[in-house]
Chain A
Amino acid sequence: MGSLATIRGLHKAYVMGDETVHALDGVDLNFDRGEYIAILGPSGSGKSTLMHILGFMDTPTKGSILFEGEEVSNLSPDRRAWYRSNRVGFVFQSFNLLPRLSVLENVALPLLYREDYTEDAREEAAKIALERVGMSHRLTHRPTQLSGGERQRVAIARAIVARPAIVFADEPTGNLDVKNVDRILDLLGSLLAEGITVVVVTHDLSVAAKAKRVISMRAGKVQEDRLQ
């Protein structure tokens, strides 16, 4: 499928009081387009930090990231915002839908910060994304009127509305009941068909089991990187 992102020697250090914490300590990885990857590890292993840096929410202390052929390890905040609104989607454990907006408005939200979308185009794209996740019957509902599984489907629609290259899902099933877990994971898996790279960040082995490739992390380092 071709390489989407290549990271080399990635370091991230935080200074906490007198102590320096190495959240990432020399990570080398390659992500292909259309891959289904699980990043597995206990809390503090660096998996969230890796997701934040790859998701353009944070910058590394050291190392290089080649994203779609461009060096992106040291971008300005506005440039990173551009990548977040154009190339990356996020799905969170707690859904993070805005309670005051309708389902449709929540899904259209990322396009609000894109200058290439008119109001009509935003709505149109949001409707398509909602149809994709099977939620087009709830356009005018508020998030609070939906079940957990429905909310997460709306959140996935929001993550894919801007046609990103990669979607990060941070413990996407953490707040869901068993019945919904599979549905959400299957939905995430189905995004691969559109060439989207899906990265599920989790500490749950059963969630990771769905992915084709599992990257295990511990203490800021890649412990294991295997296909399954």
Chain B
Amino acid sequence: MKLLIRIRAAVINGLRELQANKVRSLLSMSGIILGVASLVAMVTVVQGMVGNFRQFVDAMGGIEKITVDKQALPKEQEHLAELSEGLTMRDVEQIKATIPIVRYVSPEARVGYEKIVWEGREVNTMINGVTPDWLPVAKRWVNPSEGRFISDLDILHKTDVCVLGSSIVAELFPPNVDPLGKVIRVKGKRFIIIGLLNNIEAQGMEIRSASGKGRGSGGMWRWRNSGVYIPISTAMAKFNGNDRLSGLGLQVATGDDLNYAVEQVERTLLQTHNGLRDFTLTTNEQTLEDFRKTEVAFKLSLGGVAGISLFVGGIGIMNVMLASINERIREIGVRKAVGARGSDLFLQFLSEAAVISVLGGLIGLVVSMGIVSIMNYVLMQAVPTGVVSKFDWIIMLQGLSFSVVVGLIAGVYPAIRAASLDPIEALRHE
């Protein structure tokens, strides 16, 4: 309790000292202000970017997704090109039969980027042949009020049905028209619209759309909301004329099994492809890992810059404290003569440094809010799909405590100097 009272008195004294030397105090704070501001602003912005990456990965099918794509044969296998069949439904069956931890297998037969027509209106978009498994692998759904997705029966009977992405609906149909049951034309062939995909939008995500209005018009999510999906069998029979797949999407039961699953899929595919390496596997984990590395690199470099400015801020405080002690040697002598102990003066000057750094840190936080707001604004102008960083009070608290630690460390040496001054010498000082 006694110590608390002493600290309180020392802090009050520190505030008075600050008030008495406003300009000098502000100058000594400037380093801390800039340090905290840059630290908090940078970490906030990087965090915002990384948060966005995460949502991006999730929208790509999440961490449990494995994508299989066609690939040209490696050099040593080039002479076997004739034997390469590419990806086929045989691969799908084989994976389903042999690898139980793969929960869904979604083969895709891309028709291509085509014009679709409804009553004279037209839109260009990607036409994809898919199976019912496409929905869970893509982590998409069809709201019950907006029809249904492609079924196994559609595949079996090669029906002429299609499911539209929400941005296609917005572009092709006037707002008052219900697209369900309407017939669109693709390369002269007629398809009945049986369902509409859910609109991927910023659900709890800090994403803003370019126009800010309209169904599924959101920037980076626009391509995810476009597209026309038809039964894979229809795509093969009516458009592609072969049973080659353009790719496979797989979903593993849990992300923990990912590496094992990748291994298994690779082995199975090598088997069905007679040892030909005409495919490639990618996972979102790699993407996420890349993002993580980027995050770490960002944090380290920006944190380093901010750390240096905080360090400089600490030197600034130490400098001002030393100068202030030099000016106040007589005062120190008087205080000692009337009974102050070394520890009293130590506490007094350490408190002054602490008060400077706390105030500097608080001002720095305010400045960082300004910086982040400006960066958000600039990013929005440059990249309309951009990231909006949110303020995180934990980061702010960390920034503030960092500044306090720097201030205290910077204050220790001057405080020791003040505490160890000889009162007789100090009183003689002119």
A residues in contact (CB < 8 Å) with B: 52, 55, 57-58, 77-78, 81-82, 84-86, 90, 92, 96-98, 100, 109-110, 112-115, 158, 162
Q: Known interface pairs A58-B424, A96-B330, A113-B341. Does A81 touch B16 (Cβ–Cβ under 8 Å)?
A: no
Q: Known interface pairs A52-B424, A92-B427, A96-B427. Does A57 touch B9 (Cβ–Cβ under 8 Å)?
A: no
Interchain CA distance A114-B6 in the complex, whole Å: 10
| B424 in contact with A82 (CB, 8 Å) | no
Please report which residues of chain B, range 293-347, place their CB below 8 angstroms from some CB of chain A when the two chains form the complex. 330-331, 333-344
B residues in contact (CB < 8 Å) with A: 2, 5, 9, 16-17, 20, 330-331, 333-344, 423-424, 427
Chain A: minimal CB distance from B155 (Å): 86
Q: Known interface pairs A57-B423, A57-B424, A100-B20. Does A114 touch B339 (Cβ–Cβ under 8 Å)?
A: yes
Chain A: minimal CB distance from B61 (Å): 67
Interchain CA distance A97-B330 in the complex, whole Å: 10
Interchain CA distance A90-B427 in the complex, whole Å: 12
Across-interface contacts of B338 in A (CB, < 8 A)? 84-85, 90, 109-110, 113, 158
Across-interface contacts of A81 in B (CB, < 8 A)? 336, 339-342
What are 13 sample pairs from A and B whose C-beta atoms fall under 8 A apart? A52-B424, A57-B337, A77-B342, A81-B336, A81-B339, A81-B340, A84-B337, A86-B339, A90-B338, A96-B334, A96-B337, A112-B340, A113-B338
| A109 in contact with B335 (CB, 8 Å) | yes
Q: Give the residue name and chain of the A residue nearest to B335 (CB).
A: A109
Across-interface contacts of B343 in A (CB, < 8 A)? 78
Q: Give the residue name and chain of the A residue nearest to B19 (CB).
A: A100
Interchain CA distance A109-B345 in the complex, whole Å: 13
Interchain CA distance A94-B330 in the complex, whole Å: 11
Across-interface contacts of B337 in A (CB, < 8 A)? 55, 57, 84, 90, 96
B17, B330, B335, B341: which contacts A78 (Cβ < 8 A)? Answer: B341
Across-interface contacts of B427 in A (CB, < 8 A)? 92, 96
Across-interface contacts of A110 in B (CB, < 8 A)? 338-339
Across-interface contacts of A92 in B (CB, < 8 A)? 427
Chain A: minimal CB distance from B317 (Å): 20
| A82 in contact with B339 (CB, 8 Å) | yes
Interchain CA distance A52-B337 in the complex, whole Å: 10
Q: Known interface pairs A52-B424, A57-B423, A96-B427. Does A113 touch B334 (Cβ–Cβ under 8 Å)?
A: no
